[in-house]
């Protein structure tokens, strides 16, 4: 007996579209707040609040991604436009993998940075488990790695958006409606 095949959708499932844009909003908030909070004077009370909001939204980003991956693995996805060259389809495939990897690694390294320095991670005031041990003398390396990962993610997001624009206005193969 053969397994029935799912019909090929023209759009991503509604749940994935909502999760995509929720993640985009969360990471936009994180990209904006990250540089601001570290540049504030350590005596500025807004700095502590901004760090707490940044960590809370980072936790939400991790949770959104976990749900998104679970939904994605169980969903039929729309195919890439047939007009894409093989190298473009390959770049899209690897670009999406890179985005997912960085969306996992970046907030987890941020969580590690907090825990390694014995700073709590809270979700809007609710203390969360300590996932990493405190390490004396760890210095700024975890924070530096978190920053590098965040800017790498931002660069990959820029390429992702650039590809959408290229496909729409150069190739006339509009991929954006698939995720709207």
**Reported confidence tier of residue 171, pLDDT bands at 50, 70, 90:** confident
**Bridge partner residues of 126 (DSSP):** 123
Question: Sign of dihedral through CA atoms 19, 25, 27, 30?
Answer: negative
**Reported confidence tier of residue 5, pLDDT bands at 50, 70, 90:** low
CA distance 24 to 137: 35
CATH architecture, range 14-178: Up-down Bundle (1.20)
Q: Quick one: pLDDT at residue 142?
A: 97
Residue 6 has pLDDT above 80, yes or no: no
The predicted model gives 65-89 an average pLDDT of 93
**pLDDT digit string (tens) for 104-114?**
999 999 999 99
Residue 97 has pLDDT above 90, yes or no: yes
Would you say 23 and 153 are in contact if contact means Cβ atoms under 8 Å apart?
Answer: no
Would you say 71 and 15 are in contact if contact means Cβ atoms under 8 Å apart?
Answer: yes
Q: What is the DSSP secondary structure assignment for residue 9, as one 8-state letter?
A: P
**Reported confidence tier of residue 173, pLDDT bands at 50, 70, 90:** confident
pTM of the model: 0.91
In degrees and rounded to multiples of 5, residue 162 shows phi and psi of -60, -40
Q: Show the DSSP H helices in 74-140 as ranges.
A: 86-116
- Domain ranges in the chain? 14-178
């Amino acid at each position: 007996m053969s397994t029935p095949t799912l019909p090929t959708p023209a759009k991503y499932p509604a749940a994935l579209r909502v999760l995509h844009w929720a993640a985009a909003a969360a990471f936009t908030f994180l990209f904006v707040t990250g540089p601001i909070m570290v540049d504030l004077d350590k005596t500025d009370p807004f700095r502590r609040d901004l760090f707490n909001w940044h960590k809370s939204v980072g936790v939400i980003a991790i949770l959104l991604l976990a749900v998104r991956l679970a939904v994605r693995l169980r969903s039929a996805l729309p195919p890439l436009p047939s007009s894409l060259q093989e190298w473009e389809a390959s770049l899209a495939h690897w670009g999406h993998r890179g985005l997912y990897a960085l969306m996992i690694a970046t907030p987890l390294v941020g969580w590690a940075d907090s825990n390694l320095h014995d700073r709590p991670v809270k979700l809007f005031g609710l203390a969360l488990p300590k996932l990493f041990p405190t390490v004396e003398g760890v210095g700024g390396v975890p924070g530096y790695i978190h920053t590098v990962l965040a800017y790498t993610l931002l660069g990959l997001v820029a390429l992702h958006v650039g590809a959408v624009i290229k496909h729409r206005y150069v190739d006339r193969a509009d991929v954006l409606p698939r995720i709207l």
